[in-house]
Homo-oligomer: A and B are copies of this chain.
Amino acid sequence: MNAEILAVGTELLLGDIVNTNAQYIAKRLAEIGINVYYQSVVGDNSNRLYQSFELALKRADIVITTGGLGPTNDDLTKETAAAIAGKSMVLDQKSLDWIESYFSKLGRVMTENNRKQAYFPEGAVIFHNAYGTAPGCAIEVGEKKIILLPGPPREMKPMFENSVIPYLSQFQDGVLVSKVLRICGIGESHVEALLKDILNAQTNPTIAPYAKTGEVTLRITSKAKTKDEASKMIIPVEEQIRNILGDHIYGEGENTTLESVVAEMLIRHKKTVATAESCTGGLLAARLINYPGISSVFMEGAVTYSNGSKINRLGVKEETLSKYGAVSKETAEEMAKGISQSAGTDIGISTTGIAGPGGGSDEKPVGLVYSGLCIDGEVFSKKFNFRGDRQNIRERTVISVLDWVRRVMEEKFR
């Protein structure tokens, strides 16, 4: 089976927005074994949209569109698909009820044009939109299928996961189950090298690694007759992967983040924390505070960018700064200890480094970073060398420091 992705929207043709939907859908289709040979973008123009549908149906078994399901006159995707399929538009009362309730919940009046969103080509399988007023749907055109999805990613993605994947799996004879492992402290190519044998041998389950700044995600997807069976197939593969990658795996699931893992550890062990940042300038604290429940353990953060503030605020010794420099193991350790003492917390975390573009030397190049960690009075430190621009070095510092803190805490509180 192969699919074609057709994004509809003049805002894409004008370059007002990036077509992230195409990437998301392409990635997920690849993971479930459906090939994509073409992606296209067309505007809110009836003729060109019709021609694009015709072409896509000629080239692919499944055409998946995003956008053009809204209430206004230039939202044409459903109507054009119906014309192509030779089907009339009929009202779906359940969808209309949902749209009405959606507006009433927001305390707003539903305008008449919103009724349009409750009409679908006859015989369509309707996909509920939990996050908006435009339901999606699937229609059949002979042997082929057209799947119509809303444009906003926060509506499209959950619909894709909850409705499209199950819809597609019925043609793939079997159900799909997938599990995400989250990895840090090791690059994508290194992950691939370590898992080479497993990746080369993969058929079912499939294993797809992908990278984002400083992290790697691994999605294991299995196919079987039942959900239960598919879930069971993941277990031995996951175990194999866990044996190889060990504590590089910091968590599992779509919504798990490094900061959530660290925050939950702190909360579980009832440890309060404070941060002292130089090169990261507040990003580390900001990242921890991403976790909504952090307030019970996060007491204070200090951005001590100048030498003066390191001395006055954290009690770093003047001698340490002059002897070893602000970017040194010794300074990092005194910063971590200093912030935990002055904030009265169990744990102190510090960063000090050269983020560039200036300030580097042969001995201490741009990208050199030290982090300090003080846990119940015991002091640790770690040296990092990063590449990239100022922004990149600071982001990587935050990720690597959180990952290091996670590992030290795991060791210590095991």
Q: Which residues of A contact B (CB under 8 A)?
A: 12-20, 22-30, 36-43, 45, 48, 52, 55, 210, 275, 277, 280-286, 288-290, 292, 294-295, 298-306, 308-309, 313, 343, 356-358, 390-391, 394
Contacts and interface: CB of A to CB of B under 8 A. Distances in A.
A282 B301 contact: yes
Contacts of A42: 37-38
A48 B55 CA distance: 13
Contacts of A292: 356-358, 390
A240 B280 CA distance: 41
A62 to B, nearest CB: 14
A373 B18 CA distance: 37
Contacts of A300: 302-306, 309, 313
Contacts of A298: 305-306
Nearest to A295: B305
A14 B40 contact: no
Contact of A301 (B13, B36, B305, B394): B305
A28 B15 contact: yes
Contacts of A275: 282, 303
A15 B309 CA distance: 46
B39 A26 contact: no
11 contacts: A13-B38, A19-B19, A19-B23, A38-B40, A40-B40, A282-B282, A283-B286, A286-B394, A299-B305, A299-B309, A300-B303
Nearest to A389: B154
Contacts of A303: 275, 282, 285-286, 289, 300-303
B40 A26 contact: no
Contacts of A308: 299
Contact of A22 (B19, B27, B356): B19
A30 B313 CA distance: 53
A99 to B, nearest CB: 21
Given A15-B22, A295-B305, 6 more contacts: A15-B26, A19-B23, A281-B282, A290-B390, A300-B313, A302-B302
Contacts of A301: 277, 281-282, 301-305
